[in-house]
Amino acid sequence: MVMELVIATRNRKKVGEIRRILEGIPVTLHTLDDFPGCPEVEEDEATFEGNAIKKARAVAGYSGKPSLADDSGLEVDALGGAPGVFSARYAGEGADDRKNLEKLLSELRDVGKEKREARFICVIALALPDGKVDTFRGSVAGRIGTEPRGESGFGYDPVFYPEGHERTFAEMSADEKDALSHRAIALRELRRYFATLMND
């Protein structure tokens, strides 16, 4: 049985990461490009789980197919867990990756190297058209550098050093990031879930 699945994000980098990690699973992957009329969902929940579930349910309801949504972000200890669920909009109106990253570095200007602990969190929600939903969570600990380094990845990758590594996510190859990342951990959980479904 080949299952159809809609990836409920317009972020191409995320779609790429999700495709790579789900490779080999017998699912036909669609993206929101295949459902151009799908309404935008406001990410106004207080938790990653809440936002991921809201997005996955909306797309499953619209497309009539099982849908998978990712809500993710960066939690910085010295900032009381910010930017957290606001990671994509941290710099406010007109925020983009560069502005968010500049704001983060400026907020951490006076914070010493040993106090810059952070973690990326990713929650994947899988929603069925009947409203049933499951969530899968991954996190990766690390620290925030003092200047951007590297060109790959997206978002806060150029300032995030995963624990035990002296290179940022943006200095790593896609495969290296996939071996460590919060999204890859959550997706591997999802892979295991699919494997049990297919063996039932």
Phi, psi for 195 (deg, rounded to 5):
-60, -40
The helix/strand count (H/E) of the chain reads as: 5, 6
Restricted to residues 113-132, the positions that interact with ligand IMP (CB under 6 A) are 120
Single out the segment in contact with ligand IMP by CB under 6 A; choices: 26-34, 111-119, 154-162, 190-198: 154-162
Catalytic position from the list 33, 44, 71, 97: 71
Contact status: 181 vs ligand IMP (CB under 6 A): yes
Distance CA 134, CA 132 (A): 7
Restricted to residues 40-69, the positions that interact with ligand IMP (CB under 6 A) are 43
User: Which residues make Cβ contacts (< 8 Å) with residue 172, sequence separation at least 6?
Assistant: 150, 152, 153, 165, 180
Active site residue 71: yes
Contact status: 75 vs ligand IMP (CB under 6 A): no
The DSSP code for 169 is: G
Residue numbers of the site for ligand IMP (CB under 6 A)?
11, 43, 70-74, 87-88, 100, 120, 153-157, 169, 181, 183
**Active site members:** 71
